[in-house]
Amino acid sequence: MRISQLKKCFKRFIVFLPPIALVAMLLQACSDKGCTDKNALNYNVVANKDDGSCEFCDSTYTLIGQDSIFLIDEHSSSSHYQEVVAKFVVTQRTLKHNYSTCGDDKCTVTYTVENLCNQDFDLNYNLQYGGSNIFINTDNFITVMANHTNNTIEVPQSAFFSDPCELLFPGIGNVSLNTPIIYH
């Protein structure tokens, strides 16, 4: 091939190169990379190609401690007099999130009440539990079905006399009745 033929080919190549390059650049500009998962914290509404950068909330509960308190019906006219009729299970946990946008880390104290007798009953009670640095005091009224455990009850912030993240266990617990147990 001669030099004149090379110049001619090069001119044709130069004429066609800019439109091809322009189309390639436009296609590149139209394919924004980012997180395309709508459930992600960093969802990018303009991204049309997922780049693997999606971030999701992940929360972890860690058990700090747990203890049981047994309730004896001490009302002398009760059909279950001097029987253990309920078990309160007090649980303390921490909740940690992997990103601050998922929520605040916190400590919770919850409890369940398990009916240990063969009758449904209503309880109007006061639960007190104290450890070396924390003390809770809460009143509640619940109905518990026979041989059943009620849903988990979270102790409200107002029931704490200190920070719920302080160590509660080991501790001493007590359940007292505000009124006699009503069996049905």
Q: How far apart are CA 105 and CA 159, in angstroms?
A: 19
End-to-end Cα, the chain, rounded Å: 107
Strand-strand pairing, 49-50 and 33-34 = parallel
- Are 38 and 91 in a shared domain? no
- Are 19 and 100 in a shared domain? no
Strands (E), the chain: 33-34, 49-50, 59-72, 84-97, 106-115, 121-130, 135-144, 153-154, 172-177, 182-183
Provide the pLDDT for residue 168. 75
Provide the pLDDT for residue 51. 94
Own/partner contacts of 118-122, CB < 8 Å, gap of 24 or more, are: 118/146, 118/147, 119/79, 119/80, 119/146, 119/183, 119/184, 120/144, 120/145, 120/146, 120/183, 120/184, 121/85, 121/181, 121/182, 121/183, 121/184, 122/181, 122/182, 122/184
- Are 107 and 66 in a shared domain? yes
What is the average pLDDT value for the chain, to the nearest integer? Answer: 84
Question: What predicted TM-score, i.e. pTM, was given to this entire model?
Answer: 0.69
- Are 27 and 68 in a shared domain? no
CATH code for the domain in which residue 89 is found? 2.60.40
pLDDT in tens, 22-60: 555 555 555 689 999 999 999 999 999 999 999 999 999
Provide the pLDDT for residue 14. 54
Q: Give me the residue label for tokens 């369940």.
A: 112
Q: For the chain, which ranges sit under pLDDT 50? A: 6
- Are 38 and 81 in a shared domain? no
Q: Is the dihedral of CA 40, 44, 48, 50 positive or negative?
A: negative
Provide the pLDDT for residue 20. 59
Name the residue range of residue 161's domain. 59-183
**Total count of domains within the chain:** 2
Q: Is 69 in a helix, a strand, or coil? A: strand
Provide the pLDDT for residue 144. 92
CA atoms within 13 A on the CB side of 1: 8
